[in-house]
Structures are given as C-alpha cells and as structure tokens.
Amino acid sequence: MPHSWDNFFILAGGAAATLMGLLFVAVTVGGTGFSTATIVHGARGFLTPALVHFGTVLLQALAVLVPWSSSWPIGIIFCLGGLTGLAYQIIVVVQQRKVGPVWLDWLDRLPYVYVPALACATLIVGSVGLITEKSFAPYAIAGATTLFLVAGVYGAWDVTLWIIKNRDKTQRRDDSI
C-alpha cells in the first residue's frame, strides 16, 4: 500500500476502535434488566456483527500500517479476511432469522446483509489487485473499509435503539409488579 494511505487507515482504525468502545459502554449501561435469552439472541444477531465490522476495520488498519517488504502479505491477509467475512455473513443471516419471527424488511437487509457482503467482495477484489499490483487496489480496499464502518455504525445504532425500546418495556413490566 502506498504511504499516502496511512492517514486514511489511521483515521478509520481510530474511529472503529472508538466506536467499539462506545458500543460496549452503551450495551453495558443499557442492557441491564434483560433476560439472558433475549440478550444472547440479540447479541448474536445484531451486536456481534457490528463489533465484527468495527474489528475488521481495526485489523485492516493495523495490517496496512505494518511496514511490509511487499504487498503480498497484506493481499493474502485481506483476501482470507474477505472470504471469511462472506462465510460469516451466512451465519449472521441465520442468527438474525432466529432473533424474531419477522425477517428484516428489504430496507434493513441493505445494511445488515448486502453492504457487508459488498464490503467483503470489494476487499477480495482489492486484495487480488494488491497482489497483482493494480492501481485500483488501494481504492477498493479503502472502499471496503468504508463500507464496513457504515455497516458497523448502522448496526450499533440499531442495537442502541433496540435497547432503549426494550428497556422501556422491561421497566414498565417491573413497575407493574
């Protein structure tokens, strides 16, 4: 990767790490009072993917900022990461279907299914371009990084709204007892 991309990946990695920390705080503070089964299914279906997206951006940033002697190691790491991400997306879809009886509508599938899948595919294309020393490679990898951040932010926001909505239900139920 050209050194001119250092600032992009420092900024993206810092944003991902900060957002991961904020998500942990939001879940810790807001998640008290929920049943264990509700938390487990919600976490597997929605919280964990957001953390994985942020973690992916952080790992991408760390891999790019290492002073490699060639582009091959980064390309191989990113290709394996993209393939693993596509496989993980299948698991996420299955987990999200278990959370509730209603499957996500088409608008929610966009950030939960299609954007991360596109990010993984773009990461694979960028990594192949990096290995073959194509000029589009850094742009594709930066695009994948941005898509992962967008998917993570959307997921974190949705988890936060879910906690607020369901916390009100839990508090109302506790108040009536």
Q: Which two tokens stand for residue 155?
A: 């997921």
Statement: residue 103 has pLDDT above 80: no
pLDDT of residue 173: 54
pLDDT digits (tens, 9 = 90+) for 139-162: 999 999 999 999 999 988 888 887
Taking the CA atoms of 111, 115, 120 and 123 in sequence, report the sign of the dihedral they define.
negative
Q: Confidence band (pLDDT; 50, 70, 90) for 40?
A: low
Asked if 47 and 159 count as a contact pair (C-beta separation under 8 A), the reply is: yes
Statement: residue 101 has pLDDT above 60: no
Asked if 99 and 42 count as a contact pair (C-beta separation under 8 A), the reply is: yes
Q: Confidence band (pLDDT; 50, 70, 90) for 59?
A: very high
Give one word for 88, left, alpha or beta, with left for phi > 0 and alpha for psi -120 to 50. alpha
Domain segments of the chain as ranges: 3-24+38-162
Per the listing, tokens 């299609």 go with 114
